[in-house]
Structure 1
Amino acid sequence: MIIAMNGVTGRMGYRQHLLRSVLAINEQGGLTLADGSRVKLRPILVGRSEAKLADLAAKHDIPDYTTDLDAAIAEADVYFDAQVTQARVKAVLKAIEAGKHVYAEKPTAETVEEAVTLANAATAAGVKNGVVQDKLFLPGLLKLKRLIDGGFFGRILSVRGEFGYWVFEGDWQEAQRPSWNYRSQDGGGIILDMFPHWHYVLENLFGSVQSVYAKAVTHIPTRVDEQGNSYEATADDAAYGIFELSGGIVAQINSSWAVRVNREELVEFQVDGTHGSAVAGLRNCRFQSRAGTPKPVWNPDLPVTHRFVDDWQYVPDNGEFDNGFKIQWEMFLRHVLEDAPFPYDFAAGARGVQLAQLGLQSSAEGRRVEVTSL
């Protein structure tokens, strides 16, 4: 199977999609299908810099690379896009018009109109389509889903999420994210980046999102780019959101590139229910049952001697967890080759873009915004 991979010279496209997914699938002998047969993958590396592509191809003994997107699409069975968001719609539409199956990073577009256009075009062309929703396959969230499916929580009341870390400004220490992330004119901003993630996490684990109230902030107004030049940060680097879900569940999620980490992992979700609570991160998930819940009493005049963190237990692994990106790649390719189920299509991607757009609207207008069906 030939896969044209566009955007693999970027950090995410290279590490997670090429190295830890496509090449890892080949290293295990290929993709295993339902009948026991195996399919090897042949990547064509696509990008704008021939020198970078050549270096990458030589490093991993990949014979095919090109800066000619049209030629790569023509040869491929599947087109994959991990470019910057601004370049995605045009390239994906080319692949759809050529009758190719398409898999893409999120967000699928910068606006909901463009995201819906992609979903409709893929449906009309009859091509298989999928959007990356990697957080669903994190060990911590898989353990959390195990608790949900087992009825551990009783009635779920609320979800509280904390995501983020300090991204250095780029002056006295190099920034660990690209500068375009902080320019709205280049498709940057934490809402456009993270709200599509939060949408599929909330939708798949807890319920559909009914409304959003968000506050977007640019805490660091000036940053330094890769060339050492100062620039104005025109995109939000933090967002504080409240999401009302079906079933009366309320979710609050803080997202920030201007926060210092004081938690076990870079992202954590606390879920509280009538029968128990849990805190899930990237890899771990801790829980506390109703019977094991302590009875705190508020008394600011006395020091707290009880260690509340000791009242939580860890959900056991009970199995091995593969790379989440690789798991979803395998699911999508089986969807293409043998029509196996794959619910994470461009329509799901469009709903994620919609939540980001409504979040920005909510922040600009200072009000709660309802989420309507697309």
Structure 2
Amino acid sequence: MSRNVVGIVMNGVTGRMGYRQHLVRSVLAIREQGGLPLGDGTVIWPEPILVGRSEHKLKELADRHGLEHWTTDLGEALAHPLAQIYFDAQVTQAREKAIRTAIEAGKHIYTEKPTAESLDAAVELARMAREAGVCNGAVQDKLFLPGLLKLKRLIDSGFFGQILSVRGEFGYWVFEGDWQTAQRPSWNYRAEDGGGMILDMFPHWRYVLDGLFGEVRSVYAHTATHVPERFDEQGRSYAATADDAAYGVFELDGGITAQINSSWAVRVDRDELVEFQVDGTEGSAVAGLRNCRVQHRSLTPKPVWNPDLPVTESFRDQWQLVPDNGEFDNGFKIQWELFLKHVVTGSEYQWDLLEGAKGVQLAELGLRSAREGRRLDVPALEI
């Protein structure tokens, strides 16, 4: 079996998401399984080329995982003879410039979202990649979560009949950072540093809604900064200038209404950190990260509203669990494998930078909707 070595310049892997999900659980996991087989006796062998600002962190990370290639110079990394793909998991503010540099160097592009801070910049990156003829993709990992894969299976089977509505709940309490360390970096709560719930999560909701239910046609959003003061990594207080919660209503193709609440100031009373309830004429489902429960029309109970009597039935027990019917791999790793095959074999790949730009578009319109207090149409996006 021969190896097709594909060098991947990985920028931002000293951060939480870049390290855990993309380096360890995706790229290194592919290597641990012996590479990515193509079925013709060849395996794709991803070779990370780490790049970042901290020499100390990069060296420690490379030593920990036995990796050979790392540098603090992006130009040097892109010029590496093995480098074919540039991957970006930096903070949003640094992403556009780095991706432009990588496109100009002729590298294929794979990037976390949002792909840029503004719609104009995101569309320009997509245009540049297309004109340069490089493969390009944006991370849309939630489409590959077990819970949403099961939900997609239900949709494709016609289980719901006509889908009427989608309700999403996402979030958890992020500690303020004074008496307990915050679980997220402080820049997430400063608008001037590219933080904010809408900019972080509306790009996710765009590809989930588009990919599962129908194109988003309008948005109405309300934002809040529920926790106005937080404490950074050094224990210093700072003003939270970005929205830490966003409440959105979206109109989709086919008249479907979607409502999604996103908050870092909510305590969890759900089975999973994100859940989507889908209601249709023939049945309903509740899908999370891993599990999916259903209730068919023929098995729908008849609750009776009576505030004078205690509830004697367990509503959650009236749902059935959708079986796995197979093994589910890490969602980030699945998309990495698809992108690697796309680069090496030219196989079809639909989650490109234009799809990533749609997420930036929805975030931009969501922020504008919140400022102006009105519903806004979401026009079709083209390069």
TM-score w.r.t. length of structure 1: 0.99
Name the counterpart of 1:245. Answer: 252
Backbone CA RMSD of aligned residues: 0.6
| CA-CA distance at 1:260 after TM superposition | 0.1
Alignment partner of 2:79: what SS? helix
* Paired letter, 1:254: N
Task: Look up the match of 1:6.
Answer: 11
Matched, 1:349 2:349: no
1:205 match:
212
Matched, 1:135 2:142: yes
Q: Deviations over 1:11-49 (max 9, x none)?
A: 000000000111110111111114241121111110000
**SS in structure 2 opposite 1:103?**
strand
Tell me the equivalent position of 2:46: 41
Alignment match, 1:164: 171
Partner of 1:66: 71
TM-superposed CA distance for 1:58, in Å, is 0.3
1:228 corresponds to: 235
Q: Residue 196 of structure 2 aligns with which residue? A: 189
Q: In the TM superposition, what is the alpha-carbon distance from 1:249 to its structure 2 partner?
A: 0.2
Aligned counterpart in structure 1 of residue 226 of structure 2, from 215, 219, 238: 219
Is 1:55 the counterpart of 2:60? The answer is: yes
Query: In structure 1, what residue type is equivalent to 2:22?
Result: H
Aligned counterparts of 2:234 and 2:361: Cα–Cα separation in 1: 34
SS at match of 1:353: helix
Q: Partner of 2:96 in structure 1?
A: 89
The alignment status of 1:19 with 2:20, answered yes or no, reads no
**Matches of 1:149 and 1:176, distance apart in 2:** 37
What SS does the aligned partner of 2:299 have?
Answer: coil
Paired residue for 1:329? 336
Other structure's SS at 1:2 match:
strand
1:110 and 2:121 equivalent?
no
- Counterpart of 2:46, as a letter, is L
Instruction: Write out aligned runs for 1:222-371 (5 A).
Output: 222-371=229-378
Q: How many residues align?
A: 374
Structure 2 equivalent of residue 30 of structure 1: 35
Quote the offset at 1:296 in angstroms. 1.3
Q: CA deviation at 1:214?
A: 0.3
In structure 1, distance between residues paired with 2:157 and 2:35: 34
Q: Where does structure 1 differ by over 3 angstroms across 4 or more consecutive aligned residues?
A: none
SS of aligned partner of 2:13: coil
**Shift, 1:303, TM fit:** 1.5
Query: Letter of the aligned partner of 1:53 in structure 2?
Result: L
Inter-partner Cα distance in structure 1 for 2:98 and 2:78:
9
SS at match of 2:355: helix
SS at match of 2:307: coil
Work out whether residues 166 and 279 of structure 2, in 8 Å CA contact, stay in contact via their aligned partners in 1.
yes
Partner of 2:3: none
Q: Distance in 2 between matches of 1:177 and 1:79?
A: 25
Structure 1, unaligned runs of 5 or more = none
The whole-number CA distance in structure 1 between the counterparts of 2:38 and 2:336 is 13
Q: TM-score, normalised by structure 2?
A: 0.97
Q: Give the CA deviation at 1:77.
A: 0.5
Which letter maps to 1:3?
I
Q: Secondary structure at the match of 1:4?
A: strand
Give the drift of 1:189: 0.2
Identity score, percent: 73
Q: Is the contact made by 2:44 and 2:340 (CA closer than 8 Å) also made in structure 1?
A: no
Q: Which amino acid aligns with 2:336?
A: W
User: Are 2:225 and 2:240, in contact at CA under 8 Å, matched by a contact in 1?
Assistant: yes
- 2:307 maps to amino acid: P
Letter of the aligned partner of 1:260 in structure 2? R
Aligned-partner residue type, residue 302 of structure 1: L
Write the deviation string for residues 306-340 of structure 1: whole angstroms up to 9, x where unpaired.
11111100000000000000000000010000011
Structure 1 residue 71, shift from structure 2 partner: 1.1
Amino acid at match of 1:51: H
How far 1:253 sits from its partner (Å)? 0.1
* Counterpart-to-counterpart distance in 1, 2:8 and 2:306: 62
Q: Does 1:145 align with 2:152?
A: yes
Check conservation: 2:221, 2:367, Cα contact below 8 A.
yes
Residues 137-180 of structure 1: CA deviation (Å, up to 9, x unaligned): 00000000010001000000000000000000000100000000
